[in-house]
Amino acid sequence: MEVIDGNFAIAEAIKQIGPDVVISYPQIPSILILESIASFIANGEMDSEFLNVDSDYSAMSACIGVAASGGRVFTATASQGLALMHETLFIASSLRLPIVMGITNRALAAPINFNADHSDSMAQRDSGWIQIFSENSQEAYDNIIQAFKIAENKDVRTPVMVGIDSTFAFNLHENVNVQTNDEILEFENKPDSNYSILDIENPKTVGSFCTPDYFFEHKINQNKGIESSRKVIKDVGREFGDRFNRYYGYFETYKLEDAEFAVILMSSAAGTAKKAVDEMRKKGEKVGLLKLRVFRPFPYKELGESLSNLKSIAVLDRVLTPGTYGGPLFIETMAALYSLEKRPLVYPYIYGLGGRDITLKHIEDIFDDIKKGFNNEKGNFEIKYINLRE
Amino acid sequence: MITLKELTNKEDLFVSGHGLCPGCGIPVILKLVLRATEYPIVISNATGCLQVASTEFPATSWKLNWIHSSLGNAASTISGIETMYRVLKKQGKLQTDTEIKFLAIVGDGGTNDIGLSSLSGAIERGHDFVYLCYDNQSYANSGGQRSSASPIGTSTSTTPTGKVLPGKLQYKKDITKIIAAHKLPYVAQTAPWNWEDLYTKAKKAFDIEGPAYLNVLNPCPKEWKIPSNKSIELTRIAADTCVWPLYEIEAGKNININYKPENKLPVTEWLKRQNRFKHLLNVENRWIVDEIQNVIDQNWKCLLKQEKRGINN
Ligand SMILES: Cc1ncc(C[n+]2csc(CCOP(=O)(O)OP(=O)(O)O)c2C)c(N)n1
Ligand code: SF4
Ligand SMILES: [Mg+2]
């Protein structure tokens, strides 16, 4: 057990995994992960190659170069940095490169802001990456370790981004169970790479120009990777649990079995939401929580099954997607429920933009709100904003 | 010195069937560069004419390992590849005993504009690679727009000549000198009319340890608006007018000028052969031509001085 913050937890996981190359470009607060790794290397505690590059765009480009050469590579970013990588994220996933990236989820400018929300990752939700979100430092550590195994699986070969809310990442120290190096190495067990641009005996053209004759098939083939990850994410989560006694799936349910009302959200706000559920349960309220861990691939079937018997649910998005009728989590949840015969009423909420607090009281109010019900007319949604100044 | 015959006997690693325009300088440049090392080459090619025309899926013109990622990141992509090569060597896990050479190939737009930070960073980090810029002075593959390598007065699709404007209003970036300011082991400017010069410089670039930069004039019949059978000889006129001097800079210090025209031609000899400059020969644009001539003369004088005294004095 170590008392560390989320950044250090991720750095610790990377030290144990020991990727061939770590690529670095400064971004607050993800750079703290990379600084820790740099000092591990400077002190001889790990011997990965550390490459300081000229931009976030170059960082992902260099990751592509390493991974296309059969190497294991890690980088970390957030916010503006992730936005600048946008073009290359699609290239990484299309070339089926198992890159792993830590994201300290942070708001996107303007105005510029250093605090937590999910705008950065959510803006990349169609980039073809697997997206996993962590509630706290322990989960960030565990998710990074699982991420390599998921990404490198031969049926998957798809990059993974692991998010942790920036608040947690850089100033909240918590107890984290850190496994031994041997345990991690045994768990990881890297398979051979897909292809290597350094394999000079077998020349390859990677990243061709493609006409309408083949493009569609390429994209559908690529999609098979992330579709295959559905099973692999489950298997890896189970194996991780069997070994280290911390089990992972697509989502975590909390007191949901007999619940009538539930809150759905991701990442650090789950801690507060669990406390709110406990408080309300004490008063005899049938409330529960579903914390989504894997946003891409989105677990439609499983999520729908877990929610279909509820009376009503509040979906809490930590991102504003202008011009829509709710955040991405709300819209995906609606889609997951639509084809079910029995389904709850669903209410869209948006909270926590740019690091705005969400408290126990706010979540209790949400439960009261959805119990009463509001705006039940079909097709008419009113987004509620939590803790927004009037 | 190698003979042309010996060169032609070497295997072609870039083969025909590609869709580059007739008279395009790129295949000539490539055939010389790819023959300039005995070692296997891994290429990182930026988006542009060469990339699009040589890799239409499922065909390819490349008989070596080649990767394309995007327009502005060929240098950072090769940084990752070269780094992984060093890591595998250190780990003793490289599949082959032979040394591998790394080559980034990028157009002038990808070099001077969108990929400049990526290139500068890769040089500053000291990766062992060769960067080849083929300068057709245009965003050719996207339809012939102005780049910061288009010369002043060029008519391009985004700096068209009109009733009030004479084409591009700004000077071309001096990218060779910008790169030389990084004080890297080797920088050279060359052109395909002088195959010996091009080949020798490419060989030096591959042989030297650390980053090397080659700036090669790439005649482009389509955007220069010239007959396709005149493209290579036009690059000689670029040298004879001192529009495109052939020179090299070693270790950021010594400049060698590799070709000094006995009879330096006026810039009009270069301009009048290309329809992209046709309008400059109208009387009302005389002042632009005078200015261009002036700048060429100054640059040439400066180069001669630098050759004598070293670039930093
Ligand atoms: C990020 C990005 N912006 C714009 C483009 C559009 N684009 C494709 S090729 C090209 C021209 C590149 O010019 P240059 O580097 O000079 O190479 P050339 O086409 O002349 O071979 C452009 C602008 C792109 N592919 N990617
Ligand atoms: S447009 Fe110019 S550079 Fe491109 S292929 Fe044609 S001649 Fe070559
Ligand atoms: Mg060009």
pLDDT tens string A330-366: 999 999 999 999 999 999 999 999 999 999 999 999 9
**Ligand 1 test: best mutation among B139, B220, B224, B276, most atoms within 8 Å of CB?**
B139
- B65–A200 C-beta distance less than 8 A: yes
The reply to whether ligand 1 has any atom less than 6 angstroms from the CB of B69 is: no
Q: Would residue A343 be called left, alpha or beta, if left means φ above 0 and alpha means ψ between -120 and 50 degrees?
A: beta
Cβ within 8 Å, pair B73-A199: no
Q: What is the fold of A2-244?
A: Rossmann fold (3.40.50)
Of A58, A64, A209, the CB nearest to B117: A58
Which residue has the CA at smallest separation from atom 4 of ligand 2? B49
| DSSP codes, A71-113 | --EEEEE-HHHHHHTHHHHHHHHHTT---EEEEEE-PPSSSP-
Helix (H, G, I), strand (E, B) or coil at B256: strand
Peptide bond into B211 cis (omega under 30): no
pLDDT digits (tens, 9 = 90+) for B65-100: 999 999 999 999 999 999 999 999 999 999 899 999
What are A174-200's pLDDT values in tens digits?
899 999 999 999 999 888 888 999 999
Which strands make up the sheet holding B65-68, listed edge to edge?
Answer: A205-206, B65-68, B41-45, B101-107, B130-135, B212-217, B186-190, B247-250, B254-257
Residue B191 contacts A, CB cutoff 8 Å:
no
Residues 77-136 of B with CB under 8 A from A: 77-88, 91, 94-96, 98, 100, 117-118, 120-121, 124-125
What's the pLDDT band for B311 if we cut at 50, 70, 90? Answer: confident
pLDDT digits (tens, 9 = 90+) for A35-65: 999 999 999 999 999 999 999 999 999 999 9
Report yes or no for ipTM above 0.85: yes
Atom of ligand 1 nearest to the CA of B113: 15
Tokens of B179: 């790169």
Give yes or no for residue A381 having a pLDDT over 90. no
Q: Across all residues in chain A, what is the average pLDDT? A: 95
Distance between CA A27 and CA A4 in Å, rounded? 20
Mean pLDDT to the nearest integer, A10-30: 97
Could you say which of A73, A197, A205 has the minimum Cβ distance to residue B60? A205
- At A194 the pLDDT is 83
The b-or-e profile of A231-268 (16+ CB within 10 A means b, else e) is ebbbebbeebeeeeeeebebbbebbbeebbbbbbbbbb
Distance CA B172, CA B156 (A): 13
Quote the number of domains for chain B.
1
Q: Contact A200/A178 with Cβ under 8 angstroms?
A: no
Q: How confident is the model at residue B313 (pLDDT cuts 50, 70, 90)?
A: low
Instruction: Measure the CA–CA gap between B179 and B177, rounded to whole angstroms.
Output: 5
> Does B187 score more than 80 pLDDT?
yes
Give the residue-averaged pLDDT of A229-243: 98
SS3 for B116? helix
Please report which confidence band the pLDDT of residue A378 belongs to, taking 50, 70 and 90 as the band edges: low
Domain of B122 in residue numbering reads as 4-309
Position B203 scores a pLDDT of 98
CATH 3.40.50.920 fits A251-385, yes or no: yes
Is any atom of ligand 2 closer than 6 Å to the C-beta of B20? yes
Reduced to 3 states (helix: H, G, I; strand: E, B; else coil), residue B307 is helix
Using a CB-CB distance cutoff of 8 angstroms, which residues of chain B are in contact with residue A195?
none
Q: Is the pLDDT of residue A380 over 60?
A: no
How confident is the model over A72-85, as pLDDT tens digits? 999 999 999 999 99
B157 touches chain A (CB under 8 A): no
pLDDT at A191: 87
Instruction: Give the per-residue pLDDT at A193.
Output: 84
Q: Which of B62, B69, B119 is best to mutate for the A interface (most A CBs within 10 A)? A: B69
Contacting residues for B307 by C-beta, under 8 A, at least 6 apart: B247, B255, B256, B257
Tell me how close the Cα of B52 comes to any Cα of chain A, in angstroms: 5
Kindly state if the Cβ of B267 falls inside 6 Å of ligand 1.
no
pLDDT digits (tens, 9 = 90+) for B233-264: 999 999 999 999 999 999 888 999 999 999 99
User: In the predicted model, is pLDDT for residue B140 greater than 90?
Assistant: yes
CATH number for the domain that contains residue B305: 3.40.50.970
Q: Give chain A's end-to-end CA distance (angstroms, integer).
A: 44
> A375 pLDDT exceeds 70?
no
pLDDT at A37: 98
